[in-house]
Chains A and B, each alone.
Chain A
């Protein structure tokens, strides 16, 4: 895959008209292949499993898309969903990022109007692969703006198969990120394009693309903070130009107006701190623009006078504005930041104050190995990419570096944001690889030319010199590349830009010719270098394919495990949801931990109490409290919410680690955060959550323990939990307020029904009975085995 990129770059170097045309065709063809690669590498999940929607959030998106395709966009906009968050309900139309749904809905509508009868589900499954092809094309465009076609193709190839992105965009992973990454890269491309051309047309497109991003994902705040940062950087480094103004000012105004149109963002676009950076930089940019304008009008002496005047007045105004802002911001409890953003700035914030954010596994900071898993060799290529971005530093390449640095920070805070880092890593690695190939192939070409010309070779080159040589030649090659480009498409560029380009192009070649001769690597070193790079690329490809096939393709609703006696398929989730949809009333309410809310509404079509859209902490805490309370209290809580069935996920029999017992600490923490009578230490033995013989009585009596381990001892006679790796603490007990109605084949999902209230109230005649009510532990101790 590495060759086409370098060959096109070489073709570009050639300069001939025919070769240019050939290069263009080759480039287009390569891009097509990259798109096919990006699409097809994500189909492992369909081939290995089946064409299903994966995981949790995609089920919600799928349900919304179904609603959209059935009822149309206005109904979707006004959709009040009474089947989730019972009894509060959820205004879906106003709380959902509609970009993904509208995209897939449009796609489905288009296909159907072309008489291609695909189901909504199929379209949803394949939306992510299609958009990853788009994303790799966008990467090509973005990198091309910074470093030319070769780097663009290289970066696109790398992005097409970067594992980090694959993990979020395999077929079936129908989530916001699938389209948002494309929107992110494309917005950046349009920004850089505007920056390079100064065209208002691209600026407008940029705002539209930003709008699409806002529609798609909450990660749009990354854009609206990164671009102002870059603008500020340009201003500080004295790179202010009218192109910068055109690239930024329309984006802020149009972008903010458009963002406010998205119901879920609304007034947040002007009210929350996430957006303030852009406004601040907007003001600064205008001040700077004014200063430059006045500087052009006045003589230097007058300018100095005016400067002091303006600065003193400006400072005063600035202070006033800042003071007002601070006062406004400080008056809100979270200082105007949303919890998720705060946890980005202060990584310890969530674990301290918002357990509900900390409880999500993808909000945890990543471990080191996950970098090698997710971006693999790119981690080593990035530094080289940064170096080549600095040679020379243009507006575009400085943007790349800034993008990488910020994304690297954010990825270190939240493992989910590794996804934002991936494109930056790909772009910089693409640049690095392309530059390296550039240097190496050109030196081979020179050597070959020398060989054929039989001229005296510049044999003085040593390996010690090679590094400086490569950097210099990178420099020259880059410029050459640029000037080439300006010649081929001169019409699109406004005059100012072209002038600048020409200046650069003309200033360098003076020493260029001389250096070119000097800075050539020896034949063997170049060949070796190319070989090594290809091997490196090979490793990367192998790793990516492995990651796509093995690591990231599991749909997580169907699990498989390989053992000595063959492949085991665990389809318990769908079994349980099918049971619910066939055996319960349409209006019955099912309570479970929020992880399974989306799946229950989408697959079982039953009303749930809480779901993965964790908008109401109190409601989730109520369910957490019920799960961590004794049976009777839990029954009362659930009954007050009209719950009929309780669903728990239990992995102890087959060793499925992400079950409710392992999530239990979050139920206790979130529940205890709102209802202080739930105290975490009551559940801990020596600081650990244990369910074995050393577990605390509170733990052994809580609903979650009982529902998970009810009748568990019947399976093997000992009650050995294969996830925790020990025997459970309390093996024989009866349920008083719940009855088991369904347990799936591998016991992974267990469904219980709330018993109705007792028809009669018993008298106190029997002393034994009243004893069992007050403390069930004693009763269980006396009555060792009720099953015999």
Chain B
């Protein structure tokens, strides 16, 4: 059914692809070509508000059916897209060369993804989510039910439409503006391993929620309960690829974005649910329009010099500086923080200093090289919630004193000098007397 559209679309993709590659090359951390996979083209219109906001921000969306046989993420070793929006929860298998591993490789190559599931989520979708550290409820019929914090609807339903307001406290992920209205959610819950530091719960369920099949009676205690249930999670991989996993596709739909919401038990009725702000802000974060740091110009030198030496001596005084910028979506802005630290590290940190910033992006400090020689590293390990991790290390050897760099005449050694010279003198006199006093 999509066959006649393929060729022009492909051309369009290529053209757009090149164009956006150029655009992305202007200094932003990510390009702007997104592949949107849907299992029904109706999603395109039913979620047009979300797509529209992406397009309005300059993204080029390429809508494809998930089982399109010509689907491919890369060609000739180059990725065709910079991000993936996976709105195809029920697809059992991708078309073309795309499969679970291809998607994961796409992420491992440093690309971003938004994945939305719903109660019909296939094993493929669950598998991809699990590889990203998100475990959907294994019961395929289960949905998140909350009999207390549900959204009030016209008909008394089964309380699967949830008004979620337990959002993560992070301006970086959710934007500076506080999301006042609850976010309406209908879908499946997932859990994340608390020991997994890469995954964050962005929208958590309330303590009264549980995950079960709403159509049947609860036979056994549900496996997922309370705030352990995460409704929307994000994962930032070690290579800073970002993935958003939502248990609800409806979360992004026009209906949820536009309609009002009233949380049960609360008198407040919001004209508009928090969904629009929520999806816009999180998608900004996922596609690296916010919270992306870069460090450039790592410099170190002896105090009073400007050249970077190849080696320091113990007890040298040195200066270290690094410039850190944050991507604001349009340009690199100086990053301002007072918690960036540098380590002077050899198996363990010998010096740990907080860098001071001049608010123009330059972070600097100065310290004395410890009285230990060896191969040290300047290490900056900056991991902050929501921000991309900065991990800089620069190797620098520290040598001991050269043989002629020690202090020459030590005051406390004067008795010894005197002793040796007096002995020499005495010996000379003695020899003289002994030899010529006959």
Contacts and interface: CB of A to CB of B under 8 A. Distances in A.
B129 to A, nearest CB: 7
A182 interface: no
B400 A91 contact: yes
B347 A760 contact: no
Contact of A765 (B130, B199, B346): B130
Contact of B133 (A86, A88, A761): A761
A655 interface: no
A730 to B, nearest CB: 28
B162 interface: no
B241 A759 contact: yes
Contact of A759 (B126, B134, B237): B237
Contact of A761 (B107, B126, B199, B397): B199
Nearest to A757: B238
A611 to B, nearest CB: 14
Contacts of B377: 87
A763 B373 contact: no
A766 interface: yes
Contacts of A93: 403
Interface stretch (A76-84, A306-314, A440-448, A527-535): A76-84
B193 A88 contact: no
A635 to B, nearest CB: 15
Nearest to A86: B375
B132 interface: yes
B131 A763 contact: yes
A762 B374 contact: no
Given A87-B376, A760-B108, A78 B193 contact: no
B144 interface: no
Interface residues of A, number: 24
B125 to A, nearest CB: 12
A758 interface: yes
A87 B347 contact: yes
Contact of B193 (A91, A757, A763): A763
Given A89-B374, A587-B395, A640-B347, A764 B193 contact: yes
A764 B108 contact: no
Contacts of A762: 130-131, 133
A257 B110 CA distance: 65
A89 B108 CA distance: 36
Interface string A351-365: 000000000000000
Interface string B100-118: 0000100110000000000
Interface string B379-407: 00000000000000001010110110000
B397 A89 contact: yes
A760 B400 contact: no
A760 B132 contact: yes
Nearest to B310: A82
Contacts of A88: 346, 374-375
Which of A80, A89, A263, A763 is the most central at the interface, judged by chain B CB atoms within 10 Å of its CB?
A763
A92 B193 CA distance: 50
Contacts of A760: 104, 107-108, 131-133, 198, 235, 237-238
Q: Is the interface of B mostly helix, strand, loop or mixed?
A: mixed
Contacts of A587: 395
Nearest to A765: B130
Nearest to B131: A762
B127 interface: yes
A718 to B, nearest CB: 34
B209 interface: no
B135 interface: yes
B355 interface: no
B422 interface: no
B322 interface: no
A759 B375 contact: no
Given A87-B374, A87-B375, A765-B135, A758 B238 contact: yes
Interface in B246-276: none
Interface string B345-386: 011000000000000000000000000011111000000000
Interface string B219-253: 00000000000000001011101000000000000
B196 interface: yes
A78 B405 CA distance: 10
B192 A759 contact: no
B239 A77 contact: no
A338 to B, nearest CB: 22
Contact of A763 (B134, B237, B395, B399): B134
A761 B237 CA distance: 8
Contacts of B399: 78, 80, 82, 89
Contacts of A763: 129-135, 192-193, 196
Contacts of A761: 133, 193, 196-199
Contacts of A758: 238
Interface in B383-438: 395, 397, 399-400, 402-403
Contacts of A641: 347
B107 A82 contact: no
Nearest to A87: B375
Interface string B76-111: 000000000000000000000000000010011000
B239 A759 contact: yes
A764 B126 CA distance: 11
Interface in A40-83: 77-78, 80, 82
Interface string B197-230: 1110000000000000000000000000000000
B375 A765 contact: no
A552 B398 CA distance: 42
Interface in A720-774: 757-766
Contacts of B197: 761
B321 to A, nearest CB: 22
Which of B127, B134, B373 is the most central at the interface, judged by chain A CB atoms within 10 Å of its CB?
B373
A77 B400 CA distance: 12
A421 B402 CA distance: 39
Contact of B108 (A82, A91, A759): A759
Interface in B121-147: 126-127, 129-136, 138
Contacts of A77: 403
Nearest to B198: A761
A759 B197 CA distance: 12
Contacts of A82: 311, 375, 397, 399
Contacts of B132: 760, 763
B238 A759 contact: yes
B416 to A, nearest CB: 14
B239 A766 contact: no
B349 to A, nearest CB: 13
A766 B130 CA distance: 8
A633 to B, nearest CB: 17
Contacts of A89: 373-375, 397, 399
Contacts of B108: 759-760
A221 to B, nearest CB: 24
A212 to B, nearest CB: 20
Interface in B54-70: none
A518 B199 CA distance: 107
Interface of B: 104, 107-108, 126-127, 129-136, 138, 192-193, 196-199, 235, 237-239, 241, 311, 346-347, 373-377, 395, 397, 399-400, 402-403
Across the A-B interface, give the 4 residue pairs with the lowest CB-CB distance, nearest first. Answer: A765-B130, A82-B397, A80-B399, A763-B130
Given A760-B132, A760-B198, A761-B133, 17 more contacts: A78-B399, A78-B402, A86-B375, A87-B377, A89-B373, A263-B403, A757-B238, A758-B238, A759-B107, A760-B104, A761-B197, A761-B198, A762-B130, A763-B130, A763-B131, A763-B132, A763-B135
28 contacts: A78-B399, A80-B373, A80-B400, A82-B311, A87-B347, A87-B374, A88-B346, A89-B374, A89-B375, A89-B399, A91-B400, A640-B347, A641-B347, A757-B238, A759-B107, A759-B108, A759-B239, A760-B104, A760-B198, A761-B133, A762-B133, A763-B133, A763-B192, A763-B196, A764-B135, A764-B193, A765-B126, A765-B135
Interface of A: 77-78, 80, 82, 86-89, 91, 93, 263, 587, 640-641, 757-766
